[in-house]
Amino acid sequence: MHKIDIELIEMTMDIMKYAINRISISQPEIGVPKSADDLKKLVGETITEKGIGGEVAFNLWKEHLVKANVPVDHPMHLAFVPASPTRAAIMFDLVTSASSIHGAYWMEGAGGIFCENEAMKWLVSLTGLPSGAFGVFTSGGTAANLSAIVTAREYWRSLNSENQFKKGLIITSIGAHSSVKSMAKVIDADVLMVKTEERLESAEVQKVINNLSEEDRTRLFAIVATGGTTNAGIIDDLLGIANICENENIWFHVDAAYGGGALAAKSVRHLFTGIEKADSITIDPHKWLFSPYDCGAVLYKNPELAKQAHSQEGSYLDIFKDEGSNGFNPSDYQIQLTRRVRGLPLWFSLAMHGTNKYEESVERGIELAQIASKLIKNANHLELVREPGLSCVLYRRIGWKPEDYTNWTFENHRKGLALVTPTKWEVDGTYETISRFCFINPDTTEADIEVILDSML
């Protein structure tokens, strides 16, 4: 399987050619999803005893399978939180794979981990966390949030022996990402949701704490604030909530999986004031820092606490803790043991382009949201629902019912025009279905936005 032969060399050339083509086109096609049955009909049996051969399999990929995907970096993919990995990062993702690096321990992955850590230093510097703060790259925001709340709970349980037997409690708001609730389920903690999708204010948080029963107050171990909500780009009152956490001795986690990239943008950096007081922070480079999937990050004010929570023990692992392997072991700070050095593409891209380019590209996303907002305000058939938050724009098509938005989404998708999906927003106590843009790709143009808005006429 691993022996070099002519077929393998040809295969390698074909794949490199494909990769070069793919990253050189500025406007990849928006693919159309098909059912598994339809795809099976198109490609037939691919896993067989003898193998169908690389050329055949690759052709099936190129002919049929790749076309059933929507590339996240399409300039008119403005749904969910899209992505826009740089060419440098994509190429280095290939290098990461080709280099076969085990990223759990310095002993095996020193060169790769060194690069990840250089990129991590830049991320930490964006947050303003005090010296000693550091972090690791994870598979994404979900894994970063889980790693952070496990650390928070472990710390809380270390404070007093009674906490060992208590079910923990987390306060957050309904603006928080779904993964916060899911990961609380994973660790069997309760979540108290403040009922606002607007900015979570510290006074509101204090009120919720004051209203807790004595027993619940002893179970409260963390508050999760959001640095850029996924739905609307709203940044909670981070400074106010940080101060509460400090006074009440509660872990302060900031989930900035989407918004974290905007820490690089001077125009909005002030909105994040207080993030420097967090105990832990989630940032997804695969969202707004132009990394390919998948690459999240979790940062800690005191990484030692993460190590106490996550460091794995096993006789077969002792060697990594030996003096001889002296170095930074990423597996000590998050839930995963064997790991890809997934921060490596970010490092290369940062090294190649410089941090100024990152700042400009994030600012462009914010600017595109402002441009869209102006176009919406000037259009008779549209209405802005709220001023843009970071790069998220919520707007309505006057007179449309929820099914109109759904039909419009699918029609644009079928035509290969754009991917823009509806969301819901609370207006006067009820949830209204509306349309939403999230801008990440700096190559999206004003003309692209106009075409999409015109398709709602």
Ligand X SMILES: *Cc1c(COP(=O)(O)O)cnc(C)c1O
Kindly list the residues in this chain that would bind ligand X in the complex (CB under 6 A). 81, 140-142, 145, 177, 179, 226, 230, 255, 257-258, 284, 296
Q: Is the peptide bond before 318 cis (omega within 30 degrees of 0)?
A: no
At closest approach, how far in Å is the CB of 229 from ligand X?
Answer: 7
**Residue of closest CB approach to ligand X:** 141
Whether the CB-CB separation of 137 and 343 falls below 8 Å is answered with yes
* CB proximity list for 365: less than 8 A, separation 6 or greater: 288, 390, 391, 439, 440, 441, 442
Shortest spacing between CB 143 and ligand X, in angstroms = 7
Distant-in-sequence, close-in-space partners of 148: CB < 8 Å, separation ≥ 6? 253, 280, 281, 282, 298, 300
Going by C-beta distance under 8 Å and a sequence separation of 6 or more, which residues neighbour residue 283?
123, 144, 256, 257, 260, 261, 263, 289, 296, 297, 299
Which H or E run includes 393? strand 392-397
N-to-C CA span, the chain: 56
CB of 144 to ligand X, least distance (A): 7
Choice between 289 and 420, CB closer to ligand X: 289
**Where do the DSSP E strands lie in 185-327?**
190-194, 220-226, 251-256, 280-283, 296-300
Report the residue number, 155 or 258, with the smaller CB distance to ligand X. 258
Q: Are 271 and 235 in contact (CB under 8 A)?
A: yes
- Shortest distance in whole angstroms from residue 223 CB to ligand X: 15
Residue 168 CA to residue 170 CA, distance in Å, equals 7
Nearer residue to ligand X within complex by CB, 81 or 123: 81
3-state secondary structure of 236: coil
Reduced to 3 DSSP states, what percent helix, strand and coil does the chain have, rounded to the nearest 5?
50, 15, 35
Q: What angle is formed at CA 443 by the lines to CA 437 and CA 445, rounded to 5 degrees?
A: 65
State the minimum distance, in angstroms, from the CB of residue 186 to ligand X.
13
Q: Which residue has the tokens 């795809």?
A: 39
Question: How far apart are CB 148 and ligand X at their closest, in Å?
Answer: 11
CB of 344 vs ligand X, minimal distance in Å = 17
**Least distance (Å) between residue 90 CB and ligand X:** 18
Q: How far is the CB of 294 from ligand X (least distance, A)?
A: 7
Beta carbon nearer to ligand X, 83 or 418: 83
